[in-house]
Structure 1
Amino acid sequence: MSVGVQRALSAYGKQGLEATIESASPGQLVVMLYEGAIKAIHLGKLHMLNGEIPEKGASISKAIAIIDEGLRISLDKEQGGELAENLEALYLYMTGKLFEANLENNPDLLDHVVGLLSDLKEAWESITAAPVVAAPDASAPQAAPDRGTLSYGRA
């Protein structure tokens, strides 16, 4: 594949992601963060198993950033109360385990965190599932996506 085609596909992918983010509900955005963290951990494990140390570190660091700077920071402890406190403790636990896995080259710890993230992702998918509706008429005015506050976090 030529460099030009790769750049075009990359740009197309970024535009598609941006469009998805723009139209996503707050709950769907949380699911996307879980998916991103899971993907980064899987990639980190692959690099770990292949002995690719810099790439492993970068992938695990990306997962830690998603959990800490995306999921944990978005918690609203006032609105979310005990649930938000418990999620914060779980996110801190997961980032600690990822850090430990990276230092010790321990793929089992990566699998453990993926399991936790997958359970949370499934829970969010079940509460954010919406009925499928027909595509809107392109000529009709479109309402802005609802970006209301999550029950436990900020939009």
Structure 2
Amino acid sequence: MYAQVGLETEVEAASPHQLVLMLFDGFLESVGRARLAMQAKLIEVKCQQIGRAVRILDEGLRAALDLEAGGDVAHNLHALYSYVISRLTLANLRNDVSILEEADRLIRPIREAWVEIGPQVARGARA
């Protein structure tokens, strides 16, 4: 219960940039947990974590893209997120850890780039 309240407080206080970072972190956490669950043959946990990762990509990151204003970057991210969603579905069906690792490898650099632009976003918000 306390963790839920803490998370809600963190979300309410977060900037849009921080919210996206939280989505990336949640995605990577879910993929990691799904990998561990898959290796331990915990099917229900695996399915829950892959489902959470898919929802984060679909309802969080992909839905937030502005395809008109974002140009090629937004379109490329949309295509990447769609690809990763399809790969996660396949990983779930085949119990394939390597596909989960691929999803991590594809999204982690985007997250790292997002972290790197954080100071620029913060300066722009103060200006």
- Provide TM-score, normalisation by structure 1: 0.74
User: What residue in structure 2 maps to residue 14 of structure 1?
Assistant: 4
Which structure: greater helix fraction? 2
CA RMSD across the alignment: 1.3
Report 1 or 2 for greater relative contact order, CA contacts < 8 Å, sequence distance ≥ 6: 1
* SS class of match (1:79): coil
Q: Which runs of 4+ in 1 moved over 4 A?
A: none
Q: 2:42 aligns with which of 52, 69, 72?
A: 52
- Among 52, 56, 70, the alignment partner of 1:66 is 56
> d(CA) in 2 for partners of 1:101 and 1:40?
13
Number of the residue aligned with 1:111: 101
What is the number of residues matched between the two proteins?
A: 121
Identity %: 40
The residue identity in structure 2 corresponding to 1:111 is E
- State the alpha-carbon separation in 1 of the partners of residues 34 and 97 from structure 2: 9
Per the TM alignment, residue 129 of structure 1 is displaced from its structure 2 partner at its CA by: 3.3
In structure 1, distance between residues paired with 2:35 and 2:88: 11
Q: Deviations over 1:108-151 (max 9, x none)?
A: 11011111221111110111137xxxxxxxxxxxxxxx7xxxxx
> Which residue is equivalent to 2:79?
89
Unaligned runs of 5+ in 2: none
How many angstroms does 1:73 deviate by? 0.5
Q: What CA distance in whole angstroms lies between the structure 2 residues aligned with 1:24 and 1:129?
A: 14
Alignment partners' CA distance in 2, 1:115 and 1:12: 32
